[in-house]
A = this chain, B = another copy of it.
Amino acid sequence: MKQRNAEILCIGTEILMGDIINTNAAYIAKELASLGINVYHQSVVGDNPKRLKDSLELAFSRADIVITTGGLGPTYDDLSKETIASYFGRQLVMDEEALHRIERHFERSNRVMTDNNKKQAMMPEGCVIFQNENGTAPGCAIEGRAEQEGKTAIMLPGPPREMKPMFEQGVKPFLLKDSDTRLVSHTMHFFGIGESMLETILHDIMQESRNPTVAPYAKTGEVQLRITARVKNGEDAGSLLVPMMERIKEKVGEFLYGIDVGNLQTAVVKALKEKHLHVALAESCTGGYVAKRITDVSGASEVFECGMCTYSNRMKQELLGVKAETLANYGAVSEETAREMAAGIRKISGAEIGVSVTGNAGPEPSEGKEVGLVYIAVDSDSLSEVFTLHVNRKDQDARETIRYLASSHALSLILKAVETVKSLNI
C-alpha cells in the first residue's frame, strides 16, 4: 500500500470562535498515525460555503485524504455535504437506510421529526455510508473519479461521541480495505516512572522497533506504551506482540499496572473484584478525589463500601479514631496520622484494605509542612506502609496536580495491597 497523506479539516463556527475545544482533531490525528497515515496539516473553518470550498481545495492540493468533522446537522448553515459533493461533481440523493434510522431515532426518543432532519439522510451519490449509532447524521466517504482520481474525502459528524465510534467501526476498516494487512495493538500502562526515564531505559527497543512499533503517551504521573503490530490478514499478531511486551516487562515490569486496562481506577476495581476484596478510604487533602475516581468505574459498588473525607482534625479523631497525641505531636500531615487514618477506616468499614491520604495541597504551608507534601498509607493484613509524595509545583495548576497525583498514588497502593494478598494465596 503506498504511503498516503491526510489532512484534518474541522468545520464549525463554535470551534472557530473558541466556544468548544477541538478534541476531534487530536483523536483523528492519533488514529491516523496508528494506521501509518501521515498528517501534515489540521485546520478549522466556520460554516461558510466559500471559505469551506477554499479550504477543501487547499487541503486536496496537499493531501490524498481529507477528513472533515462537523457541518452535517439539519440546519441551513450545515453545508459540508453540499460543498464536498460539489467538489467531486456529485449530486445528493436520499439514502433510504439512513432515513429509516433517523426516523427510528426520533421515535425512540419520543421527539417529532421535522422536515429538515430528512436533509441529514441526503448523501452524495456513490459514496460509502457510515451509519451513526449514536446520533442522526450519517458520515460518508467519497472516492474521486477522473480529475479527482486518488482523492478521498471522509465526512464525519462533529459531536465526539458520534464521531469516535463511527471512526472506529466505519472509517478504520474503510481506510484499511485496500490493504492486505491489519493493525493490532495493546496498551501497556505504567505508574511511578516518568516518560523521559521510561524512554531512556527503552531507548534501544523503541529505536529499533519497526514491527511492532512502540509509542509512548504521557499523562499526569503516568505513561502508556502502545505496541502496534502490522500483520497480514489471517496471521496471528500475538507472535509479534507478546515477545515485545515480554522484553519491555523485563526492563520496566515493576512499574506496569495493567495491559489494555484504561486507567488506574479501572485496574483497581478489576483487581479487587477478582480477589473479592474491598477497599475503604480516609481522605484529607484529596477530599474525595480517590473515592470519586473509584466510583467513576461502573460496578465499583462490589468493591467499595465506604470512604470518609475527614478534612478537619476533629473529624479525624471523632470519625477515624486518630489519637489526639498523634495530631499534637506529629501534625495532621504526617506519616503517623496517615497510618492511623488507614487503620481507622479499615476497622470502621470492615474492608480488607484501608487507604488514607493526608497532605498539604496548598496554596500556603500549614503546620510548617510545605505545599506538595503528602502521606499516603495503606493498611491490610499483609501490607502496611506509608508512601511520601513530594510535588514541587508552584503554578496555578499546582493544587489540582498535587491532589491528582496523591489520588493516583493511593490507587497504586491499593493495587500493591491486592498483589500482596494474591501472593499469599488467600
- Give the B-binding residues of A (Cβ under 8 A): 15-23, 25-33, 39-46, 48, 51, 55, 58, 134, 161, 217, 281, 283, 285-292, 294-296, 298, 300-301, 304-312, 314-315, 319, 348-349, 361-363, 395-397, 399-400, 403
Give Cα distance in the complex from A295 to B284, angstroms: 9
A161 and B300 contacting across the interface, CB-CB below 8 Å: no
Closest 6 CB pairs of A and B: A287-B295, A288-B291, A18-B29, A288-B288, A18-B30, A307-B309
- Given A30-B17, A39-B16, A305-B311, A296–B22 Cβ distance below 8 Å? no
Contacts of A40 in B (CB 8 A): 16, 45-46, 48, 51
By CB atoms of chain B within 10 A, which of A134, A161, A305, A395 has the most? Answer: A305
B304 and A311 contacting across the interface, CB-CB below 8 Å: yes
Contacts of A42 in B (CB 8 A): 15-16, 22, 43-44
Closest beta carbon of chain B to A354's beta carbon, Å: 14
Give Cα distance in the complex from A169 to B44, angstroms: 27
A18 and B33 contacting across the interface, CB-CB below 8 Å: yes
B301 and A292 contacting across the interface, CB-CB below 8 Å: no
Q: A17-B39, A41-B43, A298-B363 are in contact. List 6 more A-B contacts (CB 8 A).
A: A22-B22, A40-B48, A43-B43, A291-B292, A296-B403, A305-B310
B301 and A395 contacting across the interface, CB-CB below 8 Å: no
- Given A33-B17, A45-B40, A46-B40, A292–B289 Cβ distance below 8 Å? yes
B17 and A29 contacting across the interface, CB-CB below 8 Å: yes
A281 and B294 contacting across the interface, CB-CB below 8 Å: no
Give Cα distance in the complex from A20 to B30, angstroms: 10
Give Cα distance in the complex from A19 to B43, angstroms: 16
Contacts of A134 in B (CB 8 A): 395
**Number of identical protomers:** 2
Contacts of A308 in B (CB 8 A): 306-309
- Given A39-B16, A290-B288, A296-B399, A301–B311 Cβ distance below 8 Å? yes
Contacts of A285 in B (CB 8 A): 295
B292 and A307 contacting across the interface, CB-CB below 8 Å: no
Contacts of A396 in B (CB 8 A): 161
Contacts of A51 in B (CB 8 A): 40-41
Q: Which residue of chain B is the closest to A27 with respect to CB atoms? A: B18
Give Cα distance in the complex from A254 to B302, angstroms: 41
A45 and B39 contacting across the interface, CB-CB below 8 Å: no
A21 and B18 contacting across the interface, CB-CB below 8 Å: no
Q: Which residue of chain B is the closest to A400 with respect to CB atoms? A: B296
A44 and B43 contacting across the interface, CB-CB below 8 Å: yes
Q: Which residue of chain B is the closest to A289 with respect to CB atoms? A: B292
Can you give 28 A-B contacts (C-beta < 8 A)? A15-B26, A16-B40, A17-B39, A18-B27, A22-B22, A22-B26, A41-B44, A41-B55, A42-B44, A281-B288, A285-B295, A286-B295, A287-B292, A287-B295, A287-B300, A287-B304, A288-B307, A291-B309, A295-B309, A295-B403, A298-B399, A305-B315, A306-B309, A306-B310, A306-B311, A306-B315, A307-B311, A308-B309
Contacts of A55 in B (CB 8 A): 41
Give Cα distance in the complex from A397 to B298, angstroms: 12
A23 and B21 contacting across the interface, CB-CB below 8 Å: yes
B288 and A311 contacting across the interface, CB-CB below 8 Å: no
Closest beta carbon of chain B to A404's beta carbon, Å: 10
Closest beta carbon of chain B to A283's beta carbon, Å: 8
Contacts of A43 in B (CB 8 A): 41-44
Closest beta carbon of chain B to A305's beta carbon, Å: 4
Closest beta carbon of chain B to A242's beta carbon, Å: 26
B304 and A397 contacting across the interface, CB-CB below 8 Å: no
A287 and B291 contacting across the interface, CB-CB below 8 Å: yes
Q: Which residue of chain B is the closest to A305 with respect to CB atoms? A: B312
Give Cα distance in the complex from A219 to B164, angstroms: 21
A292 and B288 contacting across the interface, CB-CB below 8 Å: yes
Closest beta carbon of chain B to A402's beta carbon, Å: 11
Q: Which residue of chain B is the closest to A55 with respect to CB atoms? A: B41
- Given A44-B41, A44-B43, A300-B311, A26–B18 Cβ distance below 8 Å? yes
